Structure 1
Amino acid sequence: MTLFLGFSAVNTGNNLLYLVVSVLLGFMAISGLLGKRNLDDVWIAIETPDEIYAGLPTLLTVQLENRRKAGAFLLDIELEGKSVLFPATAGGSRAALPLSARFENRGRQPLPTLRLRSIYPVNFFIRSRAIPFDEELIVFPRLRQLVPEIAGEGEKEPGEHQERGRGHEGELNRISDYSGREPLRQIHWKLSARQDQLKVKEFSPPQGEPLMIDLQQIAARNLEERLSIAATLVASAIAAGHPTGLNLPERQVPPASGRTHKLHLLRELALYDRP
């Protein structure tokens, strides 16, 4: 439109058209300058969760820092078709928003390149720049739905699974406020008397029988299915309180419990037969 008006002004010698074209060109120049400045000095980082499973949506955290004094507006962060919008970020401040992502394959993968875009100040042009990352992430094998007998869970009464996280006979985990659901034998009477409020002892759940998962003994059509079943068994068994180990062709990981050990086993499966 601006070019059309410019040609018309030259051909007709109309001063009003010259004025309109000058205003439009000036507006475009100022808009371009403001749009470019809006993307400058913006720092982006991605925080990934500890557990990322192939084929399952996962929430990444996009951290944005505006390192200049002026505010930044309408910043859109895009990752493989998914995007999140930061409407306004004050100068010198930070903001964080979740962004859904999905990784289809297990193993070590580079963090995808982000694209920072903005339509500021007016939605005439979209300005953007790529933001590459050097970080890598580990994607665990795809989880499967297993029947209770395979998962080692057995049949449960409704609500039983939720109560397993808080045991009555294991090691003392912490002291918390009495909620009315705990049995009287868990009340810490001495501490309750000192604080004039009922306190209860929370115990870690008792450990079940150790479980050793042998990758070669899992019946499946191919390696990826075996790894998928093994990862599901690891997550299920440790959640059920069973110390769990892993028997791989090259090495053996002895049974243990806890979240750190679970992540170690899942990492072994994720990187198995991968460079």
Structure 2
Amino acid sequence: MQERARRWARRRQGIDADPTTLNRRRTYILPTGLGMGFGFVLFAMLLASMNYNSSMGFGLTFLLTSLALVAMHWCHQNLTGLIIRGYRVRPAFAGQPLALEMIVENPSLTARYELIFQWQHGSAEPMDLPPRESSVLRIEIPTRRRGRIQVEAIRVSTRFPFSLFTCWAWLHPDLSGVVYPAPAPRGEPPPPDSTDVGGAQDDSRGEDDFAGLRAFRAGDSPRHVAWKAAARGGELPVKQFAGTDVTTHWLDWSALEGQGTEARLSRLCRWIIDAHSEGHAYGLRLPEDEFPPSVGRRHRHRCLTALADFRSAGDPRD
């Protein structure tokens, strides 16, 4: 039933923009089991008061009914008007939790209580939001193997106050999470024929012959920073020229013959992590794709994502 309601809400609302405001048209409210029981008790009290013509019974029944109606109003108001923005799924390695993050903002002058965020694969602890405040929400789910997890829907709900009613809304951001392969243990270096070292043999060519990129280190000259690449990637890759020590690794799928697919991917994953941490430029060769040597977090993410998507292994949760 809940799945059918979710699909109906997705067809009605479509993909949500960033930021998303929970207006009245997209928030729904129904009594909980406790609320249904409370309603039956009120009905029984009303019948008893009518049977015995008890003014005190009528007064108590109407008072409790008024409290229930106020609770319904506040439950709906507790969710309406919230702003959710900054949807993001942080990549993870297989076996580590994948984290869905978002910023929840309360623009009103009243506090919000007991807000519950649920993803189809996990949920976060209930949160409270003071007036005019925002908070980063994080939902984690376990993973077992590489691949992608699609964020189909996020359910936001509350039962405040009294848990007599539940008010909820659906969020449908357009994003997915990447689960990288689990890296192999440290130890085995890249094969010798996958490493290109340039340097002293060609000192006379000076700085006119570009030889590669590496990560920025303290003391590097600003003249050697690849500013165009830095603008694209948000990091500071440094140009290296003939006459300097350049280490470029080609991480090649074919160099790992005799191993299974997952073993090869794990070993390539380890080599990418090590080359990135050491500041070496590296390229990746796969049967269906190739990434030229480069440096930086964006290049690392592209290469690891290619490993995660390689002949897709299915749902990372299985």
**Separation of aligned partners in 2, 1:207 and 1:267:** 29
1:171 to 202, 220, 236: 220
2:135 paired with 1:86? no
Contact 1:63 1:94 in 2 (8 A): yes
Q: Give the match for residue 295 of structure 2.
A: 257
Tell me the residue number matched to 1:56.
Answer: 96
Partner of 1:13: 53
Which structure 2 residue ranges, 5 or more long, are not aligned?
Answer: 1-40, 192-214, 223-237
Cα distance in 2 for residues equivalent to 1:98 and 1:151 = 37
Q: How does 1:1-275 map to 2 (within 5 A)?
A: 1-48=41-88, 51-79=91-119, 80-91=121-132, 93-137=133-177, 139-150=178-189, 171-172=220-221, 209-218=247-256, 222-274=260-312
SS of alignment partner, residue 174 of structure 2: coil
Which sits farther off after the overlay, 263-272 or 24-33?
263-272
> 1:171-199, CA deviations, whole angstroms, 9 ceiling, x for partnerless residues?
348xxxxxxxxxxxxxxxxxxxxxxxxxx
Shifted more, 14-23 versus 210-219: the winner is: 210-219
| Between 225-234 and 24-33, the greater mean CA deviation after superposition | 225-234
What SS is found at the alignment partner of 1:146? coil
Offset, 1:126: 3.5
- Residue 29 of structure 1 deviates from its aligned partner by 0.9
Q: Kindly provide the CA deviation profile for residues 15-41 of structure 1, in whole angstroms up to 9, marking residues without a partner as x.
A: 221211111111111101110111112
Closer/same/farther in 2, CA of residues 71 and 207 from structure 1, 3 Å limit: farther
**Alignment check: 8 A CA contact 1:151 1:237 kept:** no
Q: Secondary structure at the match of 1:48?
A: strand
- Secondary structure of the structure 2 residue equivalent to 1:261: helix
After TM superposition, give the deviation of residue 116 of structure 1 in Å: 1.1
Say how many residue pairs are matched.
Answer: 232
Q: Distance in 2 between matches of 1:244 and 1:114?
A: 38
Displacement, 1:221?
5.8
Question: In the superposition, relative to structure 1, how do residues 225 and 126 fare at CA in structure 2: closer, same or farther (>3 Å)?
Answer: farther
Kept in 2: contact 1:215–1:226 (CA 8 A): yes
Given that 1:231 and 1:269 are in contact with CA atoms closer than 8 Å, whether structure 2 keeps it comes out as yes
- For residues 46 and 254 of structure 2, the distance between their equivalents in structure 1, rounded to whole angstroms, comes to 75
Shift of 1:120: 1.5
1:43 CA drift (Å)? 2.1
Residues 95-123 of structure 1: CA distance to partner in whole angstroms, max 9, x if unpaired? Answer: 32333334445344422422212122223
Q: Which residue matches 1:159?
A: none
**CA distance in 2: counterparts of 1:74 and 1:9, whole angstroms:** 36
TM-score calculated relative to the size of structure 1: 0.69
Native 8 Å contact 1:116 1:128 kept in 2: yes
Q: Distance in 1 between matches of 2:57 and 2:245?
A: 84
User: Is the contact between residue 151 and residue 236 of structure 1 (CA under 8 Å) also seen in structure 2?
Assistant: no
More helix by share: 2
What is the CA-CA distance between 1:46 and the residue it aligns to? 4.8
Deviation digits for residues 112-141 of structure 1, max 9, x if unmatched?
42221212222334332322222233x142
Report how far residue 219 of structure 1 moved.
5.1
Aligned-pair identity (%): 20
Which string of whole-angstrom CA distances, capped at 9 and with x for unpartnered residues, describes residues 212-238 of structure 1?
Answer: 222244357643343233222211222
Q: C-alpha separation between the residues in 2 aligned to 1:41 and 1:73?
A: 13
Query: Any conservation in 1 of the 2:98–2:179 contact (CA below 8 Å)?
Result: no
**Structure 1: 5+ residue runs without aligned partners?**
153-164, 174-202
Opposite residue 45 of structure 2, the aligned amino acid is L
Aligned partner of 1:148: which letter? Answer: G
CA 1:81–1:234 in structure 2 vs 1: closer, same or farther (change >3 Å)? same
Contact residue 276 and residue 295 of structure 2 kept, 8 A: yes
How far apart, CA to CA, are the structure 1 residues paired with 2:310 and 2:49?
70
Counterpart residue type for residue 54 of structure 1: A
RMSD: 3.5
- Distance verdict in 2 for CA 1:226–1:9, change over 3 Å: farther
Could you tell me which residue of structure 2 aligns to residue 176 of structure 1?
none
In the aligned structure 2, how far is the partner of 1:101 from the partner of 1:46? 19
Structure-2-length-normalised TM-score:
0.61
